[in-house]
Amino acid sequence: MKYIILISMLISSIVAKAQDVQMADTMRSEGKIYVVIAVLCVILIGLFIYLITIDKKLNKLEKEINS
């Protein structure tokens, strides 16, 4: 019984700490602007990957047609 109380106290203190940490992490500060930045970066990187893929495809076609 003693152990159970001890463990439950330990867990609750860890949870409390985790919540503290969660609220203070970078992604949640400054009105969550970092979340917007993350989203925009994902979109931009996605578009770039798409553009690079098109570029590469075109390279291949050019080689095929010009040879």
Q: Residue from 44, 46, 50, 53 that binds other proteins (CB under 8 A)? A: 44
Q: Is 33 in the site for other proteins (CB under 8 A)?
A: yes
Q: Residue from 22, 46, 52, 53 that binds other proteins (CB under 8 A)? A: 52
Q: Is 35 in the site for other proteins (CB under 8 A)?
A: no
Q: Is 45 in the site for other proteins (CB under 8 A)?
A: yes
Q: 11-44: buried (b, 16+ CB within 10 Å) or exposed (e) per residue?
A: eeeeeeeeeeeeeeeeeeeeeeeeeeeeeeeeee
